[in-house]
Amino acid sequence: MPAPGFGATLAPAMTSPASSARSAPPDAAAIRAAAARIAPHIRRTPLLRLSAHDTGAPCDVTLKLELLQATGSFKPRGAFNRLLSAEIPAAGVVAASGGNHGAAVAYAAQALGVPAAIFVPEITGPAKLARIRAYGAELVQGGAAYDEARLASEARAAATGALIVHAYDQPEVLAGQGTLALELEEQAPELTHVLVATGGGGLIGGMAAWYDERVEVVSVEPESCATLYAALREGRPVPVPVGGLAADSLGARQIGGLAFQVARRHIGTALLVPDAAIRAAQALLWDRCRLVAEPGGATALAALLSGAFSPPAGARVGVVVCGANADPASVAG
């Protein structure tokens, strides 16, 4: 395994393979096509409806339990759509990830019989590393944060010709993640607001592209990983500091260009929550529902429980619980 920092592979930064400045986010037709394409490979995850009495929140809430998706997060939706939309070279696929995307790409590659190399930073937790290894991918760990892993993965792709599966800034990936909103609207057409955790923006970009103006999609980020919040404030994607409890899943350095295109049109509310609120949301999900959610998976719920999101009168609120790859002892202990 290379030394921390990936040695010489990190030299100059490369242009993102997503080329999001020249690409358009997916539309409803692309998301419908993605749903049909990936249907044989993913789970239709259930809902859990909780009363305000159950949670202490100011309203009832509908949880979309995407943490029960294959690999323990929503990420296989985008990974399968990218792989099934492309001609995969003999060198296979390569991805950079804080952990969940890497596991999803490894899982999809194993299912489709192609080789995969996954690059992750040092902060990736043991549960996520174990998942990637279990799916048979080559695992390369090093560097302090996701962005270093991304640069190293791009260097590998340039050297080998492998197909890059970006964690959040490719149209096919957004379309795949957008199938979660399509599915949720079928299950809960009454929702007026849906709270979604944001990292690089693949999930919220795909979901907001699907919902358009029918539902208010609310972005929730940790205070220490505020990519979309900063981009909307500055009027463009900008680098932000990365740290805190959820950095291994929401720790992108900058919001994806495609997600930002969607956000400017369809996301009016971007909220920040402290790590303490995320911990409290994890604890509630375990205590009341016996669900183990990783910090990133509990971030959207933290906004409702902490009061960062104040639902208007008559709101019917949904929350995506998007990831479960945590050590159960860290939640239940």
Boundary (domain end) residue, out of 126, 141, 164? 164
| Residue 56 sits in the same domain as residue 140 | no
Select the more confidently predicted residue: 268 or 236. 236
In a domain, 11, yes or no: no
CATH number of residue 232's parent domain? 3.40.50.1100
Is residue 266 in some structural domain?
Answer: yes
Q: How many domains does the chain have?
A: 2
Percentage of residues of the chain with pLDDT beyond 70: 93
Domain assignment present for residue 20? The answer is: no
Q: Mean of the pLDDT values across residues 59-70?
A: 98
Pairing, β 61-65 against β 47-50: antiparallel
Domain that holds residue 56: 42-74+171-332
Q: How confident is the model at residue 333 (pLDDT cuts 50, 70, 90)?
A: low
51 has a pLDDT exceeding 80: yes
Is 207 in the same domain as 279? yes
320, 176: one domain = yes
> What does the alpha-carbon distance between residue 166 and residue 156 come to, in Å, rounded to a whole number?
13
Q: For residue 20, what pLDDT band results from cuts at 50, 70 and 90?
A: low
Examine the fold and report which residue of 134, 164, 194 is the final residue of a domain before the chain moves on: 164
| In a shared domain, residues 88 and 224 | no
pLDDT at 53 over 50: yes
User: What is the pLDDT averaged over residues 255-282?
Assistant: 96
From residue 187, alpha-carbon distances to 55, 66, 184, 260, 330 in Å are 22, 13, 5, 27, 31
The pLDDT of residue 270 = 97
For range 135-145, the mean pLDDT: 92
150, 94, 92, 83: which is closest to 118 by C-alpha? 94
**Residue with more model confidence, 216 or 146:** 216
State the residue for tokens 């007026």. Answer: 192
Count CB atoms within 10 A of the CB of residue 307.
11
Q: Is 32 within a domain?
A: no
Q: Are residues 128 and 268 in the same domain?
A: no
The predicted pLDDT at position 178 comes to 98
Mean pLDDT of the chain, nearest integer: 92
Average pLDDT over residues 190-214: 97
**Is pLDDT at 5 greater than 70 in this prediction?**
no
Q: What is residue 18's predicted lDDT score, i.e. its pLDDT?
A: 42
Q: According to the model, what pLDDT value does residue 275 have? A: 98
* 132 and 262 assigned to the same domain: no
Q: Which residue has the higher pLDDT, 27 or 11?
A: 27
Q: What is the pLDDT of residue 126?
A: 87
Burial of 296 (0-12, 13-18, 19+ CB in 10 A): buried
Decide if pLDDT at 1 tops 60.
no
Q: What three-state secondary structure class fits 130?
A: helix
Q: Which of 106-115, 136-145, 275-284 has the lowest mean pLDDT?
A: 136-145
User: Which tokens in the block code for residue 244?
Assistant: 């805190």
Arithmetic mean of pLDDT, 254-265: 96
Q: Are residues 133 and 262 in the same domain?
A: no
Assigned domain for 190 exists: yes
Q: In which residue are the tokens 């892993």 written?
A: 149
Q: Are residues 215 and 274 in the same domain?
A: yes
Residue 122 covered by a domain: yes
Percent of the chain with pLDDT over 90: 81
pLDDT digits (tens, 9 = 90+) for 152-164: 999 999 999 999 9
Give the lowest-confidence range in 243-247, 257-261, 327-331: 327-331
Question: Is there a single domain that holds both residue 192 and residue 67?
Answer: yes
Would you state the pLDDT for residue 127? 85
Same domain, 278 and 288: yes
The pLDDT score that the predictor gives to residue 84 is 98
Question: Would you say residue 99 has pLDDT above 50?
Answer: yes
Whether 9 shows a pLDDT value over 80: the answer reads: no
Answer yes or no: is 4 within a domain: no
292 with 192, same domain: the answer is: yes
Q: Would 8 be classed as within a structural domain?
A: no
Q: Using DSSP, how many helices (H) and how many strands (E) does the chain show? A: 14, 10
Give alpha helix (H) positions in 2-64.
28-38, 52-55
**Model's pTM, two decimal places?**
0.91
Show which of 118, 134, 164 is a domain's final residue.
164
Residue 112's closest CA among 83, 91, 132? 83
Give pLDDT, residue 248: 86
pLDDT of 268 > 90? The answer is no
Q: pLDDT tens across 280-289, in order?
A: 999 999 999 9
Bridge partners of 120?
141
pLDDT at residue 98, rounded to an integer? 87
Residues 180, 159, single domain; the answer is: no
Whole-number pLDDT of residue 22: 61
- Tell how far CA 127 is from the center of its chain: 17
First to last CA, the chain: 33
